[in-house]
């Protein structure tokens, strides 16, 4: 009997290589686990259960998959079956990873809890009364709940790092431009990146290696400057680690979160890192406000394509084209995309462009410069990933501003195009706490090395306590 809750992707690959298990048996085991636990967790929107010879994978449902429904968590894409594969779907296919299914998300990846999904929320395997985070909450719930050995999410403002943190998993938001966005349902194109959600840092590195690199279909991609290295070092010797004061002392960080992160920082020092304080004052003060101009502005433009003619849902009409557009959009979009389309359209309108969007772009440059200055003195930065542990379903759903604060600590580096890795660093009130490891562009290998060393020292058990055998 395989315990899918405990099995890492690396171990699964080992079982397949040694012939102890066939690919079909492995895929079948996950489909069985889904039958058992997904009614409670609702991690999946579509279960495919493809057999194959590799380690099966779950893909967030904003990742286009040929012949498999892709809804982005929205009614407006209900019934849409793509005729092509996204580049990341192609790459996991070419690597021989069969598709288990498509996972739930906040509508168009707008949210921090999956409660904005038109198909109902996913649940946190650590406590089903709580959210798994979002927007990649379905992938995180699937991996933490033993319904997939690993999966892909997407991160615009924190949608990989935050759910990984809330579910006790490892999540990488890659350097902007290292992973193709071709075939990813676009939210905010200057920020969107696909990345892995896994149980271990080594699994994360392996999956990143599978999907990263230049793609002729996405002109914003680049070749990686060096090959991805699966980490094995157990120390942090020679690594300078900065602790940005504002990211660690921001208002709203729960004391239990601070305590777990403080312990991880002490461990980093005992593993040989040189630790010092640094500052990111303007990034933290203005990051969130800046993001909530740039992201809705880009979203309002990207979401213009859903007109009832080209994809998915179409409202009943009487032959009038304008009415068809507006009825389809009114019935097809939920409240969050609607809110963002309105804010974004306003921020981009002729009379306000300079005051809002133009100003936000300038602030974005300041944020990038502030991070660059911190990386002159330090190789990596540490902070909590999320200010809080997983919150209860319903707690923030009615208050968009409270929900937006979930990403206070993940957004600033995203605005600067930088990579970030979240690893679990302990529990607070019985729920996982995430440690955010930030680095300069293309520092994924160093983040993996540090993340792996810390992971060994922290020895966090990623199997949710209530599900342990
Ligand atoms: N929670 C943020 C938002 O709602 C980030 C979402 C994301 O990264 N996709 O926009």
The greatest distance separating any two alpha carbons of the chain, rounded to the nearest whole angstrom, comes to 71
Query: pLDDT value at position 125?
Result: 98
pLDDT digits (tens, 9 = 90+) for 100-114: 999 999 999 999 999
454: CB partners within 8 A, 6+ apart: 236, 264, 267, 268, 271, 423, 425, 435, 437
Is 60 designated active site? yes
Task: Please report the DSSP string for 149-184 in residue order.
Answer: S-EEEEESSSTTHHHHHHTT-EEEEPPTTSB--TTB
Query: pLDDT value at position 317?
Result: 80
- Average pLDDT for 124-140: 98
pLDDT at 311 over 90: no
d(CA 218, CA 413): 22
Query: pLDDT value at position 468?
Result: 95
Q: Is the CB–ligand 1 distance for residue 157 below 6 Å? A: yes
Determine the straight-line distance between the first and last CA of the chain, rounded to whole angstroms.
12
Q: Write down the domain spans for the chain.
A: 9-281+365-467
Q: Is the CB–ligand 1 distance for residue 141 below 6 Å? A: no
| Catalytic residue (one of 60, 93, 102, 396) | 60
Q: Is the CB–ligand 1 distance for residue 164 below 6 Å? A: no
Q: Is the CB–ligand 1 distance for residue 73 below 6 Å? A: no
pTM beyond 0.95: yes
pLDDT digits (tens, 9 = 90+) for 276-291: 999 999 999 999 999 9
d(CA 43, CA 390): 16
Query: pLDDT value at position 1?
Result: 78
Query: pLDDT value at position 368?
Result: 98
Residue 116 has a CB neighbour count (10 Å cut-off) of 25
pLDDT at 264 over 90: yes
- Average pLDDT for 228-255: 97
pLDDT at 318 over 90: no
pLDDT at 142 over 90: yes
Ligand 1 probe mutation, 62, 103, 106, 185, most atoms within 8 A of CB: 106
pLDDT digits (tens, 9 = 90+) for 17-44: 999 999 999 999 999 999 999 999 999 9
Q: Which CATH architecture has domain 9-281+365-467?
A: Alpha-Beta Complex (3.90)
CA distances from 222 to 99, 106, 212, 213, 360 (A): 26, 29, 9, 6, 26
pLDDT digits (tens, 9 = 90+) for 209-231: 999 999 999 999 999 999 999 99
- 319: confidence class by pLDDT, cuts 50, 70, 90: confident
**Ligand 1 center to 187 CA (angstroms):** 9
- Closest ligand 1 atom to 112 CA: 1
Q: Is the CB–ligand 1 distance for residue 65 below 6 Å? A: no
Is 443 designated active site? no
Q: What angle do helix axes 201-211 and 444-458 make, rounded to 10 degrees? A: 160
| Catalytic residue (one of 117, 154, 159, 422) | 159
**Ligand 1 center to 108 CA (angstroms):** 9
Is 349 designated active site? no
Q: Mean pLDDT across the chain, nearest whole number?
A: 97
Q: Is the CB–ligand 1 distance for residue 407 below 6 Å? A: yes
- Closest ligand 1 atom to 407 CA: 1
**Ligand 1 center to 291 CA (angstroms):** 9
pLDDT at 469 over 90: no
pLDDT at 443 over 90: yes
Burial of 242 (0-12, 13-18, 19+ CB in 10 A): buried
Q: Is the CB–ligand 1 distance for residue 56 below 6 Å? A: no
pLDDT at 450 over 90: yes
């Amino acid at each position: 009997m395989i315990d899918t809750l405990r099995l890492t992707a690396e171990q699964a690959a080992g079982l397949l290589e040694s012939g102890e298990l066939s690919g079909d048996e492995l895929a079948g085991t996950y489909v069985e686990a889904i039958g058992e636990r997904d009614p409670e967790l609702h991690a999946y929107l579509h279960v495919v259960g493809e057999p194959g010879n590799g380690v099966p994978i779950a893909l967030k449902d904003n990742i286009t998959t040929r012949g498999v429904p892709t809804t982005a968590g929205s009614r407006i894409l209900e019934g849409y079956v793509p005729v092509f594969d996204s580049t990341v779907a192609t790459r996991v296919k070419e690597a021989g990873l069969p598709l288990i299914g498509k996972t739930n998300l906040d509508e168009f990846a707008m949210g921090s809890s999956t409660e904005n999904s038109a198909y109902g929320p996913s649940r946190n395997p650590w406590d089903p009364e709580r959210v798994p985070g979002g927007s990649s909450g379905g992938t995180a719930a699937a991996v933490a709940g033993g319904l997939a050995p690993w999966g892909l999410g997407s991160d615009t403002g924190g949608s990989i790092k935050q759910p990984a943190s809330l579910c006790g998993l490892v999540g990488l938001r890659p350097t902007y431009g290292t992973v193709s966005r071709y075939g990813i349902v676009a939210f905010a194109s200057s920020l969107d990146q696909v990345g892995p959600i896994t149980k271990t840092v080594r699994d994360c590195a392996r999956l990143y290696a599978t999907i990263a690199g230049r793609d002729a279909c996405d002109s914003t991609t680049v070749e990686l400057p060096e090959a991805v290295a699966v980490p094995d070092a157990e120390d942090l010797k020679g690594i300078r680690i900065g602790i940005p004061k504002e990211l660690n002392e921001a208002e709203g960080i729960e004391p239990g979160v601070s305590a777990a992160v403080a312990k991880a920082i002490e461990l980093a020092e005992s593993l040989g890192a040189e630790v010092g304080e640094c500052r990111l004052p303007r990034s933290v003060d203005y990051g969130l406000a800046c993001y909530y101009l740039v992201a809705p502005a880009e979203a309002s433009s990207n979401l213009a394509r859903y007109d009832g003619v080209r994809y998915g849902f179409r409202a009943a009409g009487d032959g009038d084209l304008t009415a068809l557009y507006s009825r389809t959009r009114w019935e097809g979009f939920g409240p969050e995309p609607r809110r963002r389309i309105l804010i974004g359209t306003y921020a981009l309108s002729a009379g306000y462009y300079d005051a809002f969007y133009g100003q936000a772009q300038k602030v974005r440059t300041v944020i990038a410069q502030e991070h660059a200055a911190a990386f002159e003195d330090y190789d990596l930065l540490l902070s909590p990933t999320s200010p809080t542990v997983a919150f209860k379903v319903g707690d923030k759903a009615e208050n968009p501003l409270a929900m937006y604060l979930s990403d206070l600590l993940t957004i600033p580096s995203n605005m600067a195009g930088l990579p970030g890795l979240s690893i679990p660093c302990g529990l607070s009130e019985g729920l996982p706490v995430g440690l955010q490891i930030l680095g300069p562009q293309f520092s994924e290998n160093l983040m993996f090395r540090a993340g792996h060393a810390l992971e060994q020292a922290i020895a966090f058990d990623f199997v949710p306590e209530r599900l342990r055998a």
